[in-house]
Structure 1
Amino acid sequence: MRKSLLAMAALMGVATLPAHAWRLNIDQETFADIGFSTIVRGISEGKRSESASERSRINFYVPLFNITASGHVNKLVYFSMNAEGNSNTATVADNRVLVRDAFIGLKFAEELRVQAGVMRAPFSRAALTSTYVQLFPYTHDYKKIGILADNPTSVEAGLSPRDHGIVVWGNVADGLVKYYLGITDGATIASSTDNSLAYTIRLQFTPTMLGFKPETGYTVSDTYLGRQNVLSIGVGYRVVGRSGALRDTKMLTVDALYEQKFGDLVPNLQVGFINKKDAGGTADRRSSQLYIQGGVLFDQMMGFGKPALAIRLEQNKNTKAHADSDKDEPRVTKFGVWAHYYIKGQAAKVSLGVDSVNLNSEARNRDCDPDTSGTQRCRNFTDITLQFQTQF
C-alpha cells in the first residue's frame, strides 16, 4: 500500500501523501486514492496599528481543510481533484469550500506529461509547495493589512494561487533536470486579463551524480523528513498579460533547497528570491521577496514524536509603491522561529511558532486601520501561533 502511494505521488505530482488513504479499485489499472487533511490554528496577534481602538487578540479557527481524490484511469490517463475550505468565524457566510485543483493528465513518458485544468502555477518553489509540508505555514498578507501596496506572495501576485490552463512538464535524465512550460489564463491575478494569457517556465536542477534524489513530482516540499537527501536549484519566469493600457507583469524567481541526513540529524536550508516588475500593470512598480530559512530534525522518537526546529528571515519590499511617488519604498522584515513535533510525519503534527514583523519608516506610515477616521499608522508586531495538523 505504501509503495503504491509513493508511486502515485511521483506520477500525480503530489508533494506528500498521508500515511494512509482510502483506495478505491475498479480494476488493475483504474483506481483512486481519497484523502482528508485538516489544520486547526490558534494565534495570538499583536497590535497592527496605533489606533486607540486597536487591541492584541487571540483567535482560534480552521484555516484549511481538504478533500482530495487522485488516481489512474489507465497507464496513460491520470486525474486529481482537491476541494479546499476553511472555517474562520462562526458566521456561515465567512466559511467556504472551493475547488482548488481539478485537472486531467496524460503521461506519455517520464520526460513528457501534459496536465489540463486548474492547478498550481509552476513558477516558484513557494507556489509549488502545499501548506501541509511547509516549515512556516503561516503567511502574513501585508497588502491586506495595509502595509504594502503590492505583496509579492499574496493572491494577487500569481505565486501561491492556482491558474487554469495547460502545463507540459517532465523529468529528464532520471531527474537531473525537471522542466515546466505553462500557458494559463492568468485569471487568479487581481486585474482584468480577459484578453491576455500568462506564460510560465521553470527549470529545476538536481546533481543526481552526487547521490541526491530528485523531486520528480509536480509539487515539492519544504522538508522530506530525512527520507531522501535533496539538493534542488530552480529558476522560474512568468509573464502575466494585461488588458488595455496596463503593462504586462513580469516575475522572476531563483530558489534552492538542501536537505541531508547525518545520523540522527537532518539539517535543512532553503533560500529564495522573487522579483515582480510592473506590478498591477503599473509601469516601474516593483515588489520583491528575499528569504532564507533553515532547520534541523532529530530523527529519533522522543516521547511519541520527532522534534524539529526551524528559523526564517524574510524581507518584502515595494519600490514606487504608488503611481504618484518615485521614492515610496515600504519594507517589511520578518523573523520567525517554529518548533515542530512530528507524531507521524506530516500526517500528525503539532507546531508552535513566533513571528516578529518589523517595518521601516515608510511602511509604518501606512494607514493600517482604514475603517477609522484619520490615518492610523502601522506598527511592528509579534504573533504567536499554535497549530495542529492531521492527514489521512
Structure 2
Amino acid sequence: MRKSLLAMAALMGVATLPAHAWRVNIDQETFADIGFSTIVRGIYEGKRNDNSSVKNRLNFFVPLFNITASGQVNKLVYFSMNAEGNSNTATLGDNRVLVRDSFIGLKFADEFRVQAGVMRVPFTRVALTSAYAQLFPYTPPFGALANQPTDVEAGGLSPRDHGIVVWGNVADGLVKYYLGITDGATIRRSDDDSLAYTIRVQFTPVMLGFKPETGYTLADTYLGRQNVLSIGVGYRVVGRSGAQRDTKMLTVDALYEQKFGDIVPNLQVGFINKKDADGVANRKASQLYAQGQLLYDQMVGFGKPALAVRFEQNKNELPGVLADRDEPKVNRFGVIAHYYIKGQAAKVSLGVDSVRFNSEARNRTCSDYGVNGACRNFTDVNLQFQTQF
C-alpha cells in the first residue's frame, strides 16, 4: 500500500500523501486514492494594537481540513481534486468549503508533463508546500502583515491559480522545471485578458547522493526519509489591466536536510521580491527568511521529537512614503516543538510566534488596512493537532 502511494506521489506531484488512504480500484490501470486531513488549533493571541477595546484572547478553531481524491485513468492521464475548508466560528455562514485544487494531467514522460486546471502556483517554495508539510503552518497573524510577499491572497501571489503548467524532471531529477500560463490576478471571468507567466527551476546535486524532489509539490521536511539539497529560482509576471503596472516577482530559495545517525538537521532559506506590487507603480515588497529543524529520529514515548526555529523580515513600501522616513519593516521570530507520532499523519505542535514592528510600520501598517490604533509588538502561543488519512 505504501509503495503504491509513493508511486502516486511521484506521478501526480503530491509531496505529502497520508500514510494511509482509501484506494478505489476500477481495473489495473484505473484507480483513485481518497484522503482526509485536518488541523485543530488553539491560539493565545497577544494584543494587536493600541485600541483599548483590543485584548489578549484565547481561541480554539479548525483552520484547515481537506478531502482529497487523486488517481489515474490510465498510465497517461491522471487527476487530482482537493476540497478545503475551515471552521473558525460557530456561525454557519462564516465557514466555507472550497475547491482549492482540481486538475487533469498528462504524463508523456518524467521529463514532460502537462497539467490543466486550478493548482498551486510553481513560484515560491511556500506556494508549493502544503500546510501539513510546513514547519510553521501559521497564516499571517492579521492585517498588519497583509500584502507581504508570502501573504496567500494578496498581490497576485495566491498559492493557487487557474491555467496550464508544463513541468518535469530532467536527468533523474538533477533539474526540475515548471512553466506556467495562468489567469493571474483575474481569476473571475471578465473583460480583462491579463495573464500571469511563471517559470521555476530547481537544481539537486544528485551526483553527491542527494535525492531530488521529483513531485509537483514540495515539503519543508522529509523527516529523515531522504537526504535533500534543493536550490530553486523562480520568476513570475502578473499582468494588470488599464493603467496598472504588471507585477514582477523574483524568488531564490534552498532546502538542505540530511540524516546523521539519529539526528536529522534541516535548514531552509529564501528571498522573495515584488516590484510594482498589486499593480501600483513603484510599490515594492520583499521577504527574507531562514528556518530550520532538528529532529531526533528515534521514538521517545510514542513519537519523535523535533525543535524548529524561524526568522523572517518583511518590507512593504507603499507609494508616497517620504524619503526621510524609515522603511516599514516587520520582523517575525518563531520557535516550535513538534512531536511526530506518525510522521505528518499524526503530529502535535506547540509554538511561539513573535512579531515586531519598526516605528514606521507600527504607525502606518495597521491604519493602511483598516485597523484602528497603531500596531504594537505581540506574541502568540499556538497549540496544534494534525492528522492525515
Name the TM-score, length of structure 2 as normaliser.
0.96
Aligned counterparts of 1:189 and 1:275: Cα–Cα separation in 2: 22
Residues 86-125 of structure 1: pairs in structure 2 closer than 5 A: 86-125=86-125
Q: What does the per-residue CA deviation read over 1:180-235, in whole Å, with 9 as the maximum and x for residues that have no partner? A: 00000114679x89220000000000000000000000000000000000000000
Q: Does 1:152 align with 2:166?
A: no
Aligned counterparts of 2:161 and 2:45: Cα–Cα separation in 1: 31
In structure 2, the residue matched to 1:376 is: 373
Name the TM-score, length of structure 1 as normaliser.
0.95
Aligned counterparts of 1:289 and 1:198: Cα–Cα separation in 2: 21
Aligned counterparts of 1:380 and 1:111: Cα–Cα separation in 2: 48
Distance change (3 Å), C-alpha of 1:15 and 1:330 = same
Aligned counterparts of 1:357 and 1:372: Cα–Cα separation in 2: 19
Residues 201-212 of structure 1: pairs in structure 2 closer than 5 A: 201-212=199-210
In structure 1, the residue matched to 2:388 is: 391
Give the alignment partner of residue 310 of structure 1, picking from 308, 312, 328.
308
Q: Does 1:42 align with 2:42?
A: yes
Q: Does 1:215 align with 2:213?
A: yes
Aligned counterparts of 2:74 and 2:194: Cα–Cα separation in 1: 35
The alpha carbon displacement at 1:145 in A equals 2.0
In structure 1, the residue matched to 2:32 is: 32
Instruction: Assess if the C-alpha contact under 8 Å between 1:164 and 1:187 holds in 2.
Output: no
SS at match of 1:212: coil
Comparing 165-174 with 151-160, greater Cα deviation is found at 151-160
Question: CA-atom RMSD, angstroms?
Answer: 2.0
Residues 307-386 of structure 1: pairs in structure 2 closer than 5 A: 307-319=305-317, 321-323=318-320, 325-326=322-323, 327=325, 329-366=327-364, 368=366, 376-386=373-383
Aligned counterparts of 1:63 and 1:338: Cα–Cα separation in 2: 18
The alpha carbon displacement at 1:152 in A equals 1.1
Distance change (3 Å), C-alpha of 1:372 and 1:340 = closer
The alpha carbon displacement at 1:368 in A equals 3.3
SS at match of 1:341: strand
Instruction: Assess if the C-alpha contact under 8 Å between 1:337 and 1:355 holds in 2.
Output: yes
Residues 174-213 of structure 1: pairs in structure 2 closer than 5 A: 174-187=172-185, 194-213=192-211
Instruction: Assess if the C-alpha contact under 8 Å between 1:121 and 1:158 holds in 2.
Output: no
In structure 2, the residue matched to 1:238 is: 236
Question: Unaligned stretches of 5+ in structure 2?
Answer: none
SS at match of 1:366: helix
Q: What does the per-residue CA deviation read over 1:47-66, in whole Å, with 9 as the maximum and x for residues that have no partner? A: 01011111010000000000
Residue 123 of structure 2 aligns to which amino acid in structure 1? Answer: F
The alpha carbon displacement at 1:160 in A equals 4.7
Instruction: Assess if the C-alpha contact under 8 Å between 1:185 and 1:196 holds in 2.
Output: yes
Question: Unaligned stretches of 5+ in structure 1?
Answer: none
Q: What does the per-residue CA deviation read over 1:337-364, in whole Å, with 9 as the maximum and x for residues that have no partner? A: 0000000000000000001110000111
Aligned counterparts of 1:272 and 1:160: Cα–Cα separation in 2: 18
In structure 1, the residue matched to 2:287 is: 289
The alpha carbon displacement at 1:301 in A equals 0.2
Q: What does the per-residue CA deviation read over 1:54-103, in whole Å, with 9 as the maximum and x for residues that have no partner? A: 10100000000000000010000000000000000001111000000000
Q: Does 1:16 align with 2:13?
A: no
Q: What does the per-residue CA deviation read over 1:302-354, in whole Å, with 9 as the maximum and x for residues that have no partner? A: 000000000001001012x1346555631100110000000000000000000
Instruction: Assess if the C-alpha contact under 8 Å between 2:81 and 2:102 holds in 1.
Output: yes
Instruction: Assess if the C-alpha contact under 8 Å between 2:143 and 2:369 holds in 1.
Output: no
Distance change (3 Å), C-alpha of 1:54 and 1:180 = same
Residue 164 of structure 1 aligns to which amino acid in structure 2? Answer: H
Aligned counterparts of 1:247 and 1:296: Cα–Cα separation in 2: 43
Residues 227-266 of structure 1: pairs in structure 2 closer than 5 A: 227-266=225-264
Using the aligned pairs only, state the percent identity: 79
Aligned length: 387
Distance change (3 Å), C-alpha of 1:261 and 1:67 = same
Instruction: Assess if the C-alpha contact under 8 Å between 2:121 and 2:160 holds in 1.
Output: yes
Instruction: Assess if the C-alpha contact under 8 Å between 2:185 and 2:238 holds in 1.
Output: no
Aligned counterparts of 2:27 and 2:136: Cα–Cα separation in 1: 40
Aligned counterparts of 1:48 and 1:199: Cα–Cα separation in 2: 37
Distance change (3 Å), C-alpha of 1:328 and 1:98 = farther
SS at match of 2:379: strand
In structure 2, the residue matched to 1:2 is: 2
In structure 1, the residue matched to 2:126 is: 126
Aligned counterparts of 1:68 and 1:246: Cα–Cα separation in 2: 37
Aligned counterparts of 1:55 and 1:92: Cα–Cα separation in 2: 25
Aligned counterparts of 1:324 and 1:358: Cα–Cα separation in 2: 20
Aligned counterparts of 1:67 and 1:5: Cα–Cα separation in 2: 16
Aligned counterparts of 1:281 and 1:347: Cα–Cα separation in 2: 40
SS at match of 1:78: strand
